Amino acid sequence: MERNRSDWATGFPPVEPRRARILILGTLPSAESIRQGQYYAHPRNAFWPIMGELFGAGRDLPYAARLRKLAAQGVMLWDVLQAAHRPGSLDAAIHPRRRTANDLPGLLARHPELETIAFNGGTAEALFRQHVTATCGPLFDGVALVRLPSTSPAHASRTFAQKLAAWRKALAPR
């Protein structure tokens, strides 16, 4: 069976500061993010406006400056999946057997100082539990696992203010 290459999505390397207290995990970059080569690039995605409110890393800054602001606050970005067969951008379109997880155990081993893993939506959490939990063992003992409302424009059941409040509560410095 021939595969449509345009239906395969491949993610990015992690945004990995030397010391990190928070790992924000998405599922897989959207088609627009892949096209632009930037995490959360869709203009209606609430991620960067939320990061602007929490860490001063809003869309008003160039992408590289946003990443530096997050790194300075000890925030890492990555996705649970490295690649997947996914027509379009919706998490619901990810093929259940045609996907590959990122090396999250390796990332966690490099960051024993990690305090929180924040899932950008329920699909990221479910995939993490399916692909990563069994292989990580004690790597995330003592790490808070927090599912947050998705910042995707497809997740419209909560307002921006509601999403921001949930993200603020979960990611506030301890």
Alpha carbon 142 to chain centroid, angstroms: 20
Alpha carbons 125 and 122: distance in angstroms, whole number:
5
Q: What is the DSSP string of 72-101?
A: HTTEEEEESEEEEE-SSS-GGGS-SSSEEE
Instruction: Provide the token pair at 34.
Output: 């892949």
Count Cβ atoms below 10 Å from residue 77 Cβ, excluding itself: 24
Which residues are catalytically annotated? Answer: 45
H or E element at residue 33: helix 31-36
**Amino acid at residue number 119:** F
